[in-house]
């Protein structure tokens, strides 16, 4: 399993770049960022500096959207970074949340999202793409390679992801919900005539490493409660569309009954007062809180469910400590487990 990290482009940009550099030093595979140009600084400018300061790490948005950015410009930006730094970008995309809503807009339709994926991926891989009635190409981007990963929760979004995406991003780490969404995506891929295993799976959630004491766990929950509020904001829209009937997991819908509005000025921030309705049990299930052993236990559970990457949201007061704990106490043991498993399989 790869381990990535999700950063906000909060000023100063030099701090974001330094965290990315540290992440690579500790063995992280990906650096993702929020893409919300009013709330934070411009991520694509920062990607260039991250790539210049590192050697192997992949970068990309978690997530961009088809509403606030022209699709051809998005593809050209990725292809340019690939030419400069050697195909080290990945495009995470969804219908749009904070970047759109802070402008008074609405998320894109799934039909629009699908068309944007096709345009961005074709152009980002040096191929021609149809934009309205015109076929366009980036003639200088023949060597560019770009995967497009889709974020979503609802049944139709999961169907779209399985049908067309290179990867699926689930923004929570609840094992039951992970199992449900992964099964949906895999089944959709099979219906579309694709190899279900070809769709990569990324689970993204805050991780906070503690010593396991009650006081430390309580502090970690409070630092990560904002995430339940962010997820709840997405879930509320899904419930408005689909209701709570059907096979949507109750763990994904029941807890938002106490939700009362949302302030995007506090989006993705520890201490977000609009997340106080989120119960401790949801924080514990959606996030990874606890000792390195606790972190490894959940990571192994997610890996057994088919997860290829866990991406650590780092929006709390222990950024450096979390990177260090993962680099020193989690990633080496996770890699050791993989090596031991492969060795055992080879001896049969």
Q: Concatenated DSSP letters for 221-243?
A: HHHHHHHHHHHHHHHHHHHHHH-
* Residue 37: other Cβ atoms inside 10 A: 17
Q: Which of 59, 57, 81, 77 is nearest to 69 (CA)?
A: 77
Q: Which of 241, 240, 246 is nearest to 259 (CA)?
A: 240
What whole-number distance in Å separates Cα of residue 173 and Cα of residue 284?
9
How far is residue 48 CA from its own chain's centroid? Answer: 20
Helix intervals (H) in the chain: 13-26, 43-53, 71-85, 98-101, 110-124, 155-164, 175-191, 214-242, 250-253, 280-286, 292-304, 319-325, 331-346
- Percent of the chain with pLDDT strictly greater than 90: 78
| pLDDT at residue 254 in the model | 76
Contact 57, 5 (CB under 8 A): no
Compute the average pLDDT of residues 34-41.
94
Which three-class secondary structure state does DSSP give residue 181? helix
Better-predicted residue by pLDDT, 186 or 259: 186
Average pLDDT (319-347) is 78
Mean of the pLDDT values across residues 33-62?
97
What span, in angstroms and rounded, lies between the C-alpha atoms of 141 and 83? 8
Q: What are all long-range contacts of 234-238, with beta carbons under 8 Å and residues at least 24 apart?
A: 234/97, 234/153, 234/171, 235/153, 237/107, 238/153, 238/154
The chain-wide mean pLDDT, for the chain, equals: 91
- Which pLDDT score is estimated for 343? 44
Confidence of residue 79 (pLDDT cuts 50, 70, 90): very high
For residue 265, pLDDT over 70 is answered with no
Q: What is the pTM of this model?
A: 0.91
- Asked whether 95 and 152 are in contact (CB, 8 A), the reply is yes
148/124 Cα distance (integer angstroms): 9
pLDDT above 80 for 102: yes
Whether residue 302 has pLDDT greater than 70: yes
Under the banding of pLDDT at 50, 70 and 90, the label for residue 261 is low
The continuous run of DSSP H or E covering 59 comes out as strand 58-61
Structural contact between residues 262 and 100, judged by C-beta atoms closer than 8 angstroms: no
CA separation, residue 245 to residues 32, 165, 178, 241, 266 (Å): 34, 27, 19, 11, 31
- Distance, in Å, from the CA atom of 172 to the CA atom of 175, rounded to the nearest integer, reads 9
Long-range pairs, 244-250, Cβ under 8 A, ≥24: 246/155, 247/180, 248/154, 248/155, 249/176, 249/177, 249/180
């Amino acid at each position: 399993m790869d381990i990535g990290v999700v950063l906000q482009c909060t000023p100063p940009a030099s701090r974001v770049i330094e965290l990315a550099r540290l992440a690579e030093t500790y063995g992280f595979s990906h650096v993702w960022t929020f893409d919300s140009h009013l709330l934070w600084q411009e991520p694509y400018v920062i990607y260039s500096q991250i790539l210049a300061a590192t050697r192997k790490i992949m970068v990309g948005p978690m997530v961009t959207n088809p509403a606030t950015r022209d699709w051809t410009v998005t593809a050209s930006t990725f292809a340019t970074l690939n030419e400069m730094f050697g195909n080290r970008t990945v495009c995470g995309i969804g219908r749009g949340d904070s970047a759109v809503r802070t402008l008074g807009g609405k998320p894109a339709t799934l039909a629009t999202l699908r068309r944007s994926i096709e345009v961005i991926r074709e152009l980002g891989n040096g191929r021609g793409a149809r934009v309205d009635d015109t076929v366009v190409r980036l003639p200088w981007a023949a060597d560019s390679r770009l995967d497009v990963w889709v974020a979503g929760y609802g049944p139709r979004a999961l169907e779209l992801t399985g049908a067309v995406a290179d990867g699926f991003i689930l923004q929570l780490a609840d094992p039951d919900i992970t199992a449900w969404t992964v099964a949906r995506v895999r089944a959709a891929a099979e219906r579309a005539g694709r190899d279900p295993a070809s769709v990569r799976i990324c689970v993204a959630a805050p991780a906070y490493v503690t010593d396991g004491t009650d006081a430390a766990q309580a502090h970690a929950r409070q630092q990560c409660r904002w995430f339940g509020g962010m997820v709840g904001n997405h879930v509320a829209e899904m419930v408005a569309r689909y209701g709570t009937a059907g096979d949507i997991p109750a763990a994904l819908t029941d807890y938002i009954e106490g939700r009362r509005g949302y302030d995007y000025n506090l989006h993705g921030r520890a201490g977000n007062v609009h997340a106080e309705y989120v119960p401790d049990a949801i924080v514990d299930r959606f996030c990874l809180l606890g000792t390195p052993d606790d972190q490894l236990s959940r990571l192994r559970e997610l890996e057994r469910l088919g997860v290829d990457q866990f991406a650590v949201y780092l929006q709390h007061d222990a950024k450096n400590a979390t990177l260090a704990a993962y680099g020193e106490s989690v990633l080496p043991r996770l890699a050791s487990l993989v090596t031991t498993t492969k060795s055992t399989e080879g001896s049969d």
